[in-house]
Amino acid sequence: MQDNRDTLTQQTLARPPKLSHYVTSRQVIVGLALLASLSVCVAAIFFFYLTTLLETTPVTFIDGGEIRVLETHAETVGELLTLVGGDLQDGDQLSRPADELLQPNMVIEVARARQVSVLVDEQPRSIQTTLTNPAEILAAMGLALQPGDQVLLDGTLAAHDRLAGWAVPVNQIVIRRAVAVTIQNGEQVVQVRTAGATVGDALYAAGVQVYMADTVVPSTDAPLLPGMTIQIRRSVPARVVVDGRRLETRAQGETVSDLLAEAGVALMGLDYSIPGEGAAVQPGMTVRVVRVTEEVISETEVIPFQNQNAPDPTLELDQIRLLQSGQNGLQRTDVRVRYENGVEVEREALDPVVVQSPQDRVVNYGTGVVSRSIDTEQGPREYWRKVRVYATSYHPAALGGDDVTATGRKLTKGVVAIDPDLFPYGTELYIPGYGVGLAADTGSERGFSRWIDLGYDDANYEPWSRYVDVYVLGPVPDNIQYVIPE
């Protein structure tokens, strides 16, 4: 029985029945079909997953002006911002909501905030903002401008109506609030609102011109305070002519002296002004300054010495003895010279001073008369004086035919012309080479006395031009001229 079972099993194992074989093949086919279907599903799922994993969205990301074109797997704007590291800071603005889904070619922009400093009447404030226009920034800060307020944008003065259209981004806004002040300009009172920092700024804003000589209280560099009253004390125009210049000036003083001091013109020494220093200042007046200088100059002159002559009977006539030489003296006169504006106007001579006294010339002249004899063409003649003179000659033809002498005698040989102070008319003279001549004529004036002009007829004329000794013939006159001219 067992054997039969073993045989059956083996047989069964060795060749299965046909029906069993058929079932198994179908199962294999079905399994293969299922496996193929499963593979297709797995492949489809894998392809879908791979497609989803590799798919990106093109976007443009702008961060503070920097433009980047990206391909991203992020689904929302917020995810994109996280992926690119574009964290938002205080005041930054995102152009789209963070939870908005990304769309192809979407533009996302981050506007970065910056710090803008605002100074209001020296009080600092600041704001982190993406705004660039000054009007919008002030509005965001709740700051309103009042009439007269001064606005500086990055140091540039800007009118209120230009703020809204200001095209350049601003970094600093300075606001100076206007204050009301009163300007008392003489009798005129002006009310003004100004944002100026000083009194001078307020005067400029009010169009009030101030001269250097005007007095402003408080001073022009004083800080401007609300409700302040500014007083102006006006100077008057004047003109100063000094040192060749014409100065247009203004003064507050009451006198010409004050005017000159305020103009920086000093009177020194003898200087004076026209009108005088004590005269009252009048608007538009002209003051002339006269510069005065004086100098003392010395003028010297010679004091001639005098000749003192004394007779000496021990000396022969025409002999002299010098007892003392003459020496001129010297006198100095100081003269004070006055100049006004460089022009001499006066000279005043002071008392003269004798620097050196003259020394007189002292001479003794001889009075002893000695008669001597000389041989002439007419024989020996007595003479008592001999004088050396310069001799010339003349005749009527040289005088145009005039032959009448000064004493009325006829001009002929034997008549001579002399200086009557040397030889009186009527004196007989002997001239060697000529003969005896009578002093009866005088010639034209000469520069010296010791000369003689020897007369001739036209027929016997001889020219003379030389020194000769002239002998004065006797008798000796009662009145002798002991000293004769040179």
State the 10-residue block means of pLDDT for the chain, 486 residues long.
38 43 60 73 52 75 86 89 81 86 90 87 87 90 88 91 91 90 88 88 88 88 91 90 92 90 92 94 94 93 93 92 94 94 92 93 93 93 96 94 94 95 94 96 84 95 96 93 87
Per-residue confidence (pLDDT) for residue 12, from 0 to 100? 38
Q: Is 108 in contact with 69 (CB distance < 8 Å)?
A: no
Per-residue confidence (pLDDT) for residue 40, from 0 to 100? 63
Per-residue confidence (pLDDT) for residue 114, from 0 to 100? 84
Q: Is 57 in contact with 104 (CB distance < 8 Å)?
A: yes
The DSSP bridge partners found for residue 454 are 393, 416
Which residues are within 8 A (CB) of 152 and not within 5 positions of it... i.e. 6 or more apart?
Answer: 158, 172, 173, 174, 175, 176
Question: In degrees rounded to 5, what are phi and psi of residue 36?
Answer: -65, -40
Q: Counting beta carbons within 10 angstroms of the beta carbon of residue 256, is it exposed (0 to 12), middle (13 to 18) or buried (19 or more)? A: buried
The Cα–Cα gap between 453 and 439 comes to 10
- 33 residue type, one letter: A
Q: Is 84 in contact with 76 (CB distance < 8 Å)?
A: no
Q: Is 171 in contact with 117 (CB distance < 8 Å)?
A: yes
Per-residue confidence (pLDDT) for residue 55, from 0 to 100? 82
The Cα–Cα gap between 76 and 103 comes to 9
Per-residue confidence (pLDDT) for residue 15, from 0 to 100? 47
Buried b (16+ CB within 10 A) or exposed e, 87-100: eeeeebebebeeee
Model confidence pTM above 0.85: no
Per-residue confidence (pLDDT) for residue 132, from 0 to 100? 87
Q: Is 59 in contact with 76 (CB distance < 8 Å)?
A: no
Buried b (16+ CB within 10 A) or exposed e, 442-476: bbeeeeeebbbbbbbeeeebeebeeebebbbbeee
The Cα–Cα gap between 304 and 263 comes to 57
Q: Counting beta carbons within 10 angstroms of the beta carbon of residue 420, is it exposed (0 to 12), middle (13 to 18) or buried (19 or more)? A: middle
Phi-psi region of 152 (alpha: psi -120 to 50; beta: other; left: phi over 0): beta
